[in-house]
A and B are shown apart, each in its own frame.
Chain A
Amino acid sequence: MRKPAFLAVTGIVSLGSLTLAACGSNSSVNSGSPQAGTPITIGVSVSLTGDFSGDGKALVQGYDLWAQDENAKGGLLGHHVTMKYVDDASSTTQVVTNYQNLITQDKVALVFGPFSSLLTIPASTVTNRFGYAFPEPAGGGPSVFTRGIHSLFFVQPAPVEDNLVSFTQWVLSLPAGQRPATAAYSTEDDPFTQPQIDKAKALLEAGGVRTASYKVYPAETTDFTPLAQQVIAANADVVILGTQEPDAVAFIKAFQQQHYNPKALVETAGPDQGSDFATKVGSANTEGVMVPAGWWSSAKTPFNATFVSEFIAKYGGTPGGIASDAAEAYSVGQVVDQAAKKANSITNAALIAALHTGTYQTIQGPMAFDSVGKPSGASFLVQWQNGLTVPVYPPSAAVAQPEYPKPAFSG
């Protein structure tokens, strides 16, 4: 090789190595501890547009309310908090870019999580690479935890797949004469819904409840009539649906059209959307419908009543209209606040270490995290009764008896 060419190749290789080294290093990110009393910025990628925009906006409400409360108390361990939001358009690629930019360019002190398991999975890979703690409010599907990321913390009482456990426990706790003999299942092929249905099915079958029908449908389905027909044809005692809000509403309307009334109906999501759900299915048709929940507006958890009143003062509306996403986002801030006090530090390494030990009090109730950030608690069973959602199981959390069998739809 001629000398100039050799030098050029060597130069390029050296430059490339330096670039790679710079990319792999955390030296350019804000991994140290901010000086006492200095303001800090917390970065979040949120879905302000796209499929998750409704949930994303609710997350912003919850995060903003927490920051307001935190600053009123003197800030996070004395640091005034500013939230910085960037829109990921519900995109799995944009969410990665957003967290990279927040960490390397904006040099935010901390990051909080986006909406959905779908976005949390790629986002947590980035935040973990930079050594950031990643408390997140809405990514609890099994695939979030199977990657073994030590810096991730799912701030809800239970992993998503366990959401219907309280429902199955309630069904199996019924006296033999009342206990349902058959169940019909239908679920979206979604990482949020299907694991819940599959676990509920396994638990009920083990408890002696026969499966009359089990169908999985594509998430992009818009015509729910054939799906509802199958559920109705099974004529099961209880119906368990893995839904988001649109299909939750569509199933109920199809059941009304066919004058079909199961003894119990539980949906993984939809009935938890408060007044929006009631408006869509009609208030009278909400009666008796069940949904798993980690939070509800009348819960007697510490600080929840204050959260609800502050939320309404800031954003308007009614307690029933507060999306659970907002409460989950607020809980993320609560957990971080307690971890910072416990560690007496807001460095990410200290927060990660602190969050893996002990129990944290939130408006969703107490929670603790295992080595991959999976919470160890349980969700509650909530039921629509007289136009409101009320916890009905387990008895320790219940404020009303479950209404069983469910009243007929109004038709």
Chain B
Amino acid sequence: MTLILEAVVFGVLTGGVYALMASGLTLIFGVMRIINVGHGALVILGAYLSFALLRSAHIDPFLSLIVTMPAMFALGVVLQLVFIRPLKEDREALSVLVTYALALGIEGLLGFLFSDNLVQLTAWYETASFAVFGFHIAYVYVFGFALCIAILAGIFLMLYRTTFGSAVRATMLNRTAAQLVGVNVDRVSAIAFGIGVSTAAAGGVIFGMTNAFNPGSHYDLISRLLTIIVLGGLGSLRGAVIAAVGMLIIEDVTAVVISPVWASFAFFLLLVIVLVVRPQGLYGIRVRERI
């Protein structure tokens, strides 16, 4: 029983990290209707930025976010201006190709700068732990989860308590209508893309402290993140959070109760069932388009 409780607790804690990473992805989809398959590579880029600061200046990975999150925000805005905004036609399909090319470019650059060897972010709280319910929890999971909650709360506050958030939500609901009522959707898109990429930096730090990573680690990551936002409902922040936590709990519990081999299968089984019942995902909106 302790084993299952432990799996649930760790599922929630690590699920929070995936929720943070997926929130950026789903925000970008919601505002721009593009699938950013380069999001995993941006997470890994964020992890490497913190790794570089740790190695060269001995800056604590969490503290390094003071530098890396604004830097990644700026990078996100530039990427949106240079690569995404010029896509005027067949945007959804072309964006997949463009962002995949972006991912390959980031992977190549990181491989050139850091080699393909696996690295990991380290700090005193990485292995230090405290006892609760008969098992130990490492501080890194708690700190990481707290950071995720804080950032996600910040995004929710921005969306529901600010004028800019209203513009973002209006753009997410109907881009054309938002333009008609005076929302500068290009500006909203650039900033939303920047926010999405800066959350990748935060997610990258926690991912890099709990996993060894190399420039190629983004492939597995993006497949998991896409699965999460599909289950949660494309464009739904709330859905991404619930799907991420649910995914990690199901995987961890399946791994300890049945077998690690069946862990991913159990989640995908749930995904298929949900999509059969609700094709738009848990919190997605069913869209009818004239064809």
A residues with CB within 8 A of B:
49-51, 53-54, 189, 215-218, 220-223, 225-227, 229-230, 233, 245-246, 249-250, 253, 256-259, 276, 280, 282, 411
Quick one: which of B115, B211, B261 contacts A223, CB cutoff 8 A?
A: B211
Nearest chain A CB to B226 CB, angstrom units: 16
Q: With contacts defined as CB atoms under 8 Å apart, how many contacts are there between chain A and chain B in the complex?
A: 88
**B2 partner residues in chain A, CB cutoff 8 A:** 233
**B126 partner residues in chain A, CB cutoff 8 A:** 253
Distance, CA A256 to CA B128, complexed state (A):
8
**B116 partner residues in chain A, CB cutoff 8 A:** 49-51, 53-54
**A222 partner residues in chain B, CB cutoff 8 A:** 211, 217, 220
| Most-contacted residue by chain A among B117, B212, B217, B259 (CB, 10 A) | B212
- Chain B interface residue count, CB cutoff 8 Å, equals 36
| A233 contacts B3, C-beta separation under 8 Å | yes
| B10 contacts A259, C-beta separation under 8 Å | no
Distance, CA A401 to CA B264, complexed state (A):
43
On whether A216 and B260 interact (CB within 8 A), knowing A245-B118, A258-B135, A411-B128, the answer reads yes
| B111 contacts A225, C-beta separation under 8 Å | no
Interface residue B255 (Cβ < 8 Å from any Cβ of A): yes
On whether A189 and B261 interact (CB within 8 A), knowing A227-B255, A280-B120, the answer reads yes
The 14 listed contacts between A and B (C-beta, < 8 Å) are A51-B116, A220-B220, A222-B211, A223-B14, A223-B252, A229-B6, A230-B3, A245-B118, A249-B212, A250-B211, A256-B127, A257-B137, A257-B138, A411-B127
**A215 partner residues in chain B, CB cutoff 8 A:** 259-260
Interface residue B273 (Cβ < 8 Å from any Cβ of A): no
Interface residue B129 (Cβ < 8 Å from any Cβ of A): yes
| Most-contacted residue by chain A among B117, B138, B251, B255 (CB, 10 A) | B255
Nearest chain A CB to B188 CB, angstrom units: 34
Distance, CA A250 to CA B136, complexed state (A):
16
**B14 partner residues in chain A, CB cutoff 8 A:** 223, 225
Nearest chain B CB to A133 CB, angstrom units: 31
Nearest chain A CB to B277 CB, angstrom units: 28
On whether A257 and B260 interact (CB within 8 A), knowing A54-B117, A220-B220, A226-B10, the answer reads no
Beta-carbon nearest neighbor of A51 in chain B: B216
Nearest chain B CB to A237 CB, angstrom units: 19
Question: How would residues 95 to 126 of chain B score, 1 for a CB under 8 Å from any chain A CB and 0 otherwise?
Answer: 00000000000000001000111101000001
Quick one: which of B118, B129, B256, B264 contacts A218, CB cutoff 8 A?
A: B264
| A216 contacts B7, C-beta separation under 8 Å | no
Nearest chain A CB to B34 CB, angstrom units: 26
**B138 partner residues in chain A, CB cutoff 8 A:** 257
Distance, CA A67 to CA B242, complexed state (A):
59
Beta-carbon nearest neighbor of B262 in chain A: A218
Distance, CA A49 to CA B126, complexed state (A):
30
Distance, CA A259 to CA B128, complexed state (A):
9
| A229 contacts B3, C-beta separation under 8 Å | yes
Nearest chain A CB to B17 CB, angstrom units: 10
Distance, CA A217 to CA B138, complexed state (A):
23
